[in-house]
Amino acid sequence: MDVMTKPTALVDALSLLPPTPLPALPAGWHPKRYAITVGGKLAVAACNIDIDAERTRILAAEDPPSRLQELLNAGRTGLMVLGDAGWYLELSIELETPHSLIDRFADGRWLVVGGRTDAKSNARVFGPDGTLLNRFLLGDGIQDIGIDSVGRIWVSWFDEGIAGPYNEKWRVAGEERPPSSRGIGCFDATGAFIPLPPIPEVGRIDDCYALTVTGDEAWACPYTEFPLLRLSPNQPVRWWTSELAGPSAVAIDGSCALVAGGYEEDASRLALVSLEGGGEGESVRLLARYDLPLRRRSTSANASKPDWDRPTLLAGRGDMLHLVDDGVWRRWRVSEVLANHEHRPTCE
């Protein structure tokens, strides 16, 4: 196997887009959840109250828990997009939950989803002017969401959403189990469930670690064996086996992919892989490995297993991998990393 390993210092050189320092949010806003939306735009869901600081203050003052709920009820979520002149506040909506997952339809509508719910509708669709257009349920225990090029909503769930109690009463026509029991689901823009073909040979999904949309399909890496899945309604599922355990993000371009993240020392892994064959259980081929510029929280006694800080955002969108951490936005396009690999000196 011809595998090249590169240190962190060289990773930025793999992208034609330089690292972008992030400007501060407008005064009074606190970032809660970043996302890569349509067109590769960086967006953030921010709160006009510092939830963590308020929770600490309320506990210290021994105020009743209802005090925090009162603050949440009065709070706002700001949906912002990074532009050339800084952050632009597009919408200010009712807070409802301080941990919103967000994405955007191609026509400018926003999707705002609460990751946890007790069977109440947790997805809201807003028009570009802030009008609430629709509400529906996408289940509890949501890991990631993404909107594809034809407006379908893709959802992945972690273990508590797949087998947790809050989704047990969630049913859709023609389905014996809640959509979340599959680990990965697809919905139209009104929240109607779109069945997916069965996933051959993969077995039960207990958690979905990585999900990305590209064009009119989705790709995912589920626990426990972490195959790379290519998903599209009305099309057979394509899948590749992989030894890259615990990935957090994937970006796809044709027959090559960037797979980022992993367990323990592999948390900083950025792997360039080739997808061999037609997706009928072939193995991905590792072409190169790089180290992401993550922050080291501490160094264990075993120097080969550093303790990394969790990045603010590590996500794939189409053919590009995005890392937001320590106030800097970095991007790597699959084709650019592949070109660097193919043109490296033969002595490496």
CATH of 1-22+200-348, one of 2.40.50.250, 3.30.1740.10, 2.120.10.30, 2.40.10.500: 2.40.10.500
- Residue 94 pairs in a beta bridge with 76
- Beta bridge partner(s), residue 280: 239
The mean pLDDT of the chain is: 90
| pLDDT confidence tier of residue 1, bands split at 50, 70 and 90 | very low
pLDDT score recorded for residue 348? 33
pLDDT (0 to 100) of residue 68 = 78
Q: 3-state DSSP call for residue 8?
A: helix
Lowest mean pLDDT among 5-9, 289-293, 337-341, 344-348: 344-348
Q: In the predicted model, what is the mean pLDDT of residues 49-61?
A: 85
Question: pLDDT-derived band of residue 242, with 50, 70 and 90 as boundaries?
Answer: very high
Residue 345: the pLDDT is: 46
User: Rounded to two decimals, what is the model's pTM?
Assistant: 0.92
Expressed in percent and rounded to 5, the helix, strand and coil fractions of the chain are 15, 40, 40
Name residues whose C-beta falls within 8 Å of residue 259's C-beta, 6 or more positions apart in sequence. Answer: 210, 221, 228, 242, 244, 247, 249, 250, 269, 270, 271, 273, 284
Q: Is 57 helix (H, G, I), strand (E, B) or coil?
A: helix
> Measuring CA to CA, which residue among 199, 203, 185 is closest to residue 279?
199
Q: In this model, does residue 313 exceed pLDDT 80? A: yes
Which residue ranges make up each domain of the chain? 1-22+200-348, 25-195
Mean pLDDT of 69-92: 93
Condensed to tens digits (0 to 9), the pLDDT of residues 208-234 reads 999 999 999 999 999 999 999 999 998
**Residue 25 carries which DSSP code?**
P
pLDDT at residue 262 tops 70? yes
pLDDT for 4 equals: 60
Asked if residue 75 has pLDDT above 80, the reply is yes
Q: At 315, is the pLDDT very low, low, confident or very high (cuts 50, 70, 90)?
A: very high
Q: What is the pLDDT of residue 243?
A: 95
Contact between residue 324 and residue 316 where contact means Cβ atoms under 8 Å apart: no
With beta carbons less than 8 A apart as the criterion, state whether 246 and 266 touch.
yes
- pLDDT, tens only, 264-279: 989 999 999 999 999 9
